[in-house]
Amino acid sequence: MICEFCVKAILASGKPWGYHQKILSDLQTSSACVFCARLLQDVEERRATSSPPLTNAANWPLHRWSVRRPGRIRESADAVIVTFRPTSHDGDRDTGQHDEQPAVETALPERAFYLFPEEDLGHVPSQQELGVTTNLEDSGQQIKKWMQKCVTEHKYCRRHHSGDFVPTRLLAIGLPDQSRIRVIETKRHGIKGPYVTLSHCWGKDPLIKPLEITVQNQKEFMEEGITWDALPENFKQAIEVGRFLGIQHIWIDSLCIIQGPGGDFHAEASLMHQVYRNSYCNIAAADSPDCRGGLFRSRTARDVLLARYKADGTSAIFEHKAWRVVPEDFWDAELLHTIIYTRGWVFQERMLAPRLLHFAHHQIFWDCATTSACEALPSGLPQPLDTTAGTDRHWRGRLQESDSLRHRPLAGAADDSLEQFWKAAVRSYTACELTKGRDKLIAIWGIAKLVRDALGEAYGPGLWERNLEEQLAWRVVECEADGRPEEQSHVPSWSWASVRGVVEVRDRMLRWRVVRGHEGEPIAFSLVGRKPSKRVEERSDSWDEELAIMSQHLTKMEKKQQGGREASNHSTKKESQSKEVAEQGQTGSHAKADGDQPPKLQSISIPIRGHVGAAPLRRDALGGRWTLEIPECPEIGEEDGTLEVFPDVKPKFDDLGGENWYFVVLASSRLNPNNEVVSAGGAHAHGGDEKDITYTYSGVGITLKPAERDRHFYRTGALHFRGISATMWTRMHTTYCKETASPDEYKDAEGLKFWLD
């Protein structure tokens, strides 16, 4: 519902904005109001986490509300947006007392709600239709409707389930004797599917582990079966859903992969992406922290029904229509923030399954490659709120057909490229909590494999072969960890899988390779069973031009390139075709060489030749940003560009005592005053040229610390710079850390020969 105050003062007021004059006690009394309840929840969370406790909070908070109706663009739904922005009691004026009394208001989030005309939302269920639980009696009809529509009408969802892949083992759930559930070997019984799958949390407490199949009990589980009562609640209810859908088999990890010593976890875990990708429907126990929680929930209609506002015409914006309120973050808050989707392991299950039934706290959610819906909005999410779910659906569809990944241009619309998908996938994946002891890389391997097969390029631990220079400069978005997690200590420091926290991968767009591998080749990791390919370089469109600029250091290289340049001048048109062929050929050989197994590194060390510099790390007092103080360069202001360090783990106090951090620039672009990348030109790589003054440099690098072995380094952070002057750029390359390096190890033009571990 919406409280009388919010109706009168906001919706029916006819005004575009005003103050929500409600202090804490008022909010508490109107906690049934969709707006007030959310604001109250934010305030309470803020109070619970603030230390010291907030004083003088009696006349707090105050929100400024605004109502706006965005212009309609073609098919977008008609909507009105009501926004609540926390503000201080003096209105918008800044009191300037932030230091003594932190502005509590700023810690409260802004909240937005969408109001949609009821008539545009399709069928909106009544309280009675929803029923008081999410079990099959109350919600089964809706599940059937979604499934029916998807199977018969969704062109994009129908083409799968070819039966090409069947998991090694399945549970037979369609047999007449339902008191026992048998594990069956699909090959031996000639089972082809279809089957459903279960996504669930195992729980943190080892004492309440789900029932497992082991070497000891497998004979019993296969011959006599498991008694119904022995099954945990999650399994029982998932089996009920599977039967309800008319499916005879279900795949549950703990009962279909032989666990413990002598089991086949390693072989089967790398097949997991196939299991979920070929599932008829994935059933997610979204609200259950461990195996006992089950899928079904009881609920009150108020938890599910969308608040309704029947406008009386007093406000022109709302006319006489009936409206429904949906919080802007509805999909995130109700589904993606449920217990299960905070777990990293489940990320690929959600992306790879062709359709999903998520059993959440208040209602069931539906997802396929065509529709994202829930019981409150069974026809689907209205367009403006469908962004996250819509992107996921798009990729769910494309990952179903990895062939289509290949046939589409890789550099299409910016948000449609595989690169963008990978970037988004890493970001959401690293935002999840990873269960201790489980390999972070295995849990994203299923997605990586499909992308790899489509890109036709080698995949190392979380990074791709091409333009590894930029990729090595991934950053931890908000560095809060004190150290790298112990359980990932086998992962090299240059992989983001070695750190905690949300990770952002760099776009691969920079043109200048500032460093090279030892042999003059691009920097590369070495995989077991694969030679580093030179193809990588051929794909970089203007590489040969860039190389000329960097001439100093590679005369040998240049000669090689000239041959290539002449060849490519003749065949600009054909180039793209031959690239595609090369890619496909590559893919084929990958599939044979590596199959479904994640790649293994031959060595964790990446050989590099580059200018390792040293500079003190400083913290900018206002913004809290980390920066390197490049020697003999004046401190840079905003107008001089930015140079920022993103540490992998929180720098300790010692690191700030003027101690030097090692760093190396990996790739950069030179920009003219119009911010265009200057790709050609014979300017000296190390600046100093008069003309060069007007150019700026943008690029990436990493910070380093010495490892145990001589001339080996660990990565400690990312270094990103934008719009810096030629002087600064030059200094970054001449702050050499020559130290004790011999002439063979260190050359003025090429820098130091070192390894990144």
Site for Zn ion in 24-43 (CB under 5 A): 30, 33, 35-36
What single string gives the DSSP state of each residue in 530-552?
Answer: BPPPTHHHHHSTTHHHHHHHTGG
Residue pair 238/214 in contact (Cβ under 8 Å)? The answer is no
Task: Give the 3-state secondary structure of residue 677.
Answer: strand
If one asks whether residue 157 binds Zn ion (CB under 5 A), the answer comes out as yes
User: Which of the stretches 5-13, 73-81, 140-148, 211-219 binds Zn ion when contact is defined by CB under 5 A?
Assistant: 5-13
Give min distance, CB of 62 to Zn ion, in A. Answer: 14
If one asks whether residue 6 binds Zn ion (CB under 5 A), the answer comes out as yes
Question: CA-CA distance, 27 to 495, in Å (whole number)?
Answer: 47
Give min distance, CB of 272 to Zn ion, in A. Answer: 22
* Residue whose entry in the numeric block shows the structure tokens 């977008």: 76
Task: Compare residues 368 and 479 and give the one whose CB is closer to Zn ion.
Answer: 368
Q: How many residues bind Zn ion (CB under 5 A)?
A: 11
Question: H or E stretch including 280?
Answer: none
Give min distance, CB of 26 to Zn ion, in A. Answer: 9
Site for Zn ion in 337-396 (CB under 5 A): 368, 370
Question: CA-CA distance, 447 to 421, in Å (whole number)?
Answer: 10
Task: Compare residues 397 and 641 and give the one whose CB is closer to Zn ion.
Answer: 397
Give min distance, CB of 373 to Zn ion, in A. Answer: 10
Residue pair 516/558 in contact (Cβ under 8 Å)? The answer is no
> Which DSSP state fits 10?
I
Q: What is the 3-state secondary structure (H, E, C) of 205-270?
A: CHHHCCCCCECCCHHHHHHCCEEHHHCCHHHHHHHHHHHHCCCCEEECHHHHCCECCCCCHHHHHC
Residue pair 523/516 in contact (Cβ under 8 Å)? The answer is yes
If one asks whether residue 400 binds Zn ion (CB under 5 A), the answer comes out as no
Task: Compare residues 31 and 602 and give the one whose CB is closer to Zn ion.
Answer: 31
Give min distance, CB of 43 to Zn ion, in A. Answer: 13
Task: Compare residues 17 and 228 and give the one whose CB is closer to Zn ion.
Answer: 17
> Which DSSP state fits 349?
H
* Residue whose entry in the numeric block shows the structure tokens 């209105």: 91
Give min distance, CB of 210 to Zn ion, in A. Answer: 29
Q: Which region holds residue 327: left if phi is over 0, alpha if psi is between -120 and 50, else beta?
A: beta
Tokens of 333: 């808050």
Give min distance, CB of 12 to Zn ion, in A. Answer: 13
Task: Compare residues 135 and 370 and give the one whose CB is closer to Zn ion.
Answer: 370
Site for Zn ion (CB under 5 A): which residue of 69, 154, 192, 618? Answer: 154
Question: CA-CA distance, 424 to 472, in Å (whole number)?
Answer: 17
**Contact track, Zn ion, 124-153, x by CB under 5 A:** --------------------------x---
Tokens of 636: 């840079």
Give min distance, CB of 8 to Zn ion, in A. Answer: 10
- Is the torsion defined by CA of 530, 508, 430, 331 positive or negative? negative
Give min distance, CB of 372 to Zn ion, in A. Answer: 10
Task: Compare residues 36 and 115 and give the one whose CB is closer to Zn ion.
Answer: 36
Task: Compare residues 40 and 441 and give the one whose CB is closer to Zn ion.
Answer: 40
Task: Compare residues 30 and 363 and give the one whose CB is closer to Zn ion.
Answer: 30
Question: CA-CA distance, 420 to 505, in Å (whole number)?
Answer: 9
Task: Compare residues 331 and 754 and give the one whose CB is closer to Zn ion.
Answer: 331
**Contact track, Zn ion, 282-311, x by CB under 5 A:** ------------------------------
User: Which of the stretches 157-165, 188-196, 334-342, 719-727 binds Zn ion when contact is defined by CB under 5 A?
Assistant: 157-165
Pairing type for strands 282-284 and 356-359 reads parallel
Tokens of 71: 């212009």
How many helices (H) and strands (E) in the chain? 25, 29
Task: Compare residues 368 and 523 and give the one whose CB is closer to Zn ion.
Answer: 368
If one asks whether residue 113 binds Zn ion (CB under 5 A), the answer comes out as no
Binding site for Zn ion (CB under 5 A): 3, 6, 30, 33, 35-36, 150, 154, 157, 368, 370
